[in-house]
A and B are shown apart, each in its own frame.
Chain A
Amino acid sequence: MHIPDGYLGPITCAFFYLIMIPIWYKGIKELKKLDPRKLPLLGVLTAFAFLVMMFNLPVPDGTTAHMVGGTLIAILMDNPWVATIAISIVLVIQAIFFGDGGITCIGANCFNMGVVLPFVGYYVYKFLRNKVGEVIASGIGAYVGIVTAAICAGFEFGLQPFIEPGYCPYPFTVSVPAMAIAHLLTAGPAAAVVTAIVVWYVRKVRPDLFTSKEQQVSGVNA
């Protein structure tokens, strides 16, 4: 899902950088407010996200896809904004040092994998967790999050020929199904299983991370 340099034109790239500036600003503000006890965990989760993206998985059509870890971070931090910051750190390092994802496309890639993915995943999880439990909800959230992000990337690829020709040559009728299928079949299930297992484990060893502020307050009063 890392859009390389050249696939999006200057207008599209600038547009996503502009969108990301206020989101990064809000993310930094949320990071300042985050419970300091959670900061080391967010640090190792950032490294975890980097590594998990190195596990390319085979897609039946001959391409590859990988999970991202954004929904997992949003759930464990109980805050999708700080997931945006963690994933953005990873994407900037991947672009600069490893040539994975374009320098010009950092805005777009951060929007897809760092905003759409954790926000969709986190709110699907929140919507479902009282209905099916935290573990199943986190798996479904991760699945829906990564597929939605992939479809967004597909639309960016596929609208490019209509905005400025000369960059991504394929229209969205080609790019959206291709991106959706890779993540529906491969990266989505992987993200669901890994996210659910980690959430299950963390919930077992650190249930305090899952009690909301209201519950903590009422617990003190009781």
Chain B
Amino acid sequence: MNWQDPLVKKFLYVIIAMIILCPLGILLVWNYGDAWGEWDPQELAEKVGESKVSGMLHLADIWNHALLPDYDVPGWDDPFHASIGYIISAIVGVILCVGAYYALIKFVNPRATTG
């Protein structure tokens, strides 16, 4: 794969800029609620009654091994620390995405990755 393509390089600069600016994605909405349908199940249960979401409470904790839950280091709750946690998450996420993509390409099209 030719990573020297000028357009790919431009996108790399854009990616670096987005990583630096990403805290805007939480700071601009700091006093806003969650996205619709992404509320904490316990809070929702208190609002609508546990019986209405019994299955949800069962399923909600099926996966609690996230490395950086909600794109933050657990406990870094104030805006400053959350912003740093968000930047760390952005860097980790970009590495994981490009890594997974590269592994997939190597698997489906091995010739494209040599050279």
Contacts and interface: CB of A to CB of B under 8 A. Distances in A.
- Are A and B associated in one complex? yes
Interface of A: 1-7, 9-10, 28, 31-32, 36-37, 39-52, 54-59, 62-66, 85-86, 89-90, 92-100, 102-104, 153, 157, 164-169, 175, 178-179, 182, 202, 205-206
A56 B108 contact: no
Interface string B84-115: 00100110111011101110110011011000
The 5 closest A-B pairs by CB, nearest first: A166-B55, A99-B66, A6-B56, A6-B60, A44-B11
Contacts, number: 210
A118 B55 CA distance: 32
B28 A57 contact: yes
Contacts of A56: 25-26, 28-29, 32, 35
A1 B28 CA distance: 18
A7 B56 contact: yes
Interface string B36-68: 111001001000100011111111111111111
Contacts of B63: 5, 95-96, 99, 102-103
B67 A97 contact: yes
B55 A164 contact: yes
B57 A6 contact: yes
Range, interface on chain B: 35 or more
A43 B94 CA distance: 10
Contacts of A48: 11, 14-15, 18
B89 to A, nearest CB: 6
A100 B90 CA distance: 13
Interface of B: 1-3, 5-8, 10-12, 14-15, 18-19, 22, 24-26, 28-29, 32-38, 41, 44, 48, 52-71, 86, 89-90, 92-94, 96-98, 100-102, 104-105, 108-109, 111-112
Nearest to B60: A6
B25 A66 contact: yes
Nearest to B11: A44
A98 B98 contact: no
Contact of A39 (B6, B19, B105): B105
B70 A99 contact: yes
Contacts of B94: 47, 50-51
Given A6-B59, A51-B18, A32 B52 contact: no
B93 A64 contact: no
Given A6-B41, A39-B109, A64-B33, 7 more contacts: A44-B12, A45-B11, A50-B94, A99-B70, A100-B71, A166-B53, A178-B37
Nearest to A209: B7
Contact of A64 (B35, B64, B90): B35
A153 B37 contact: yes
A31 B66 contact: no
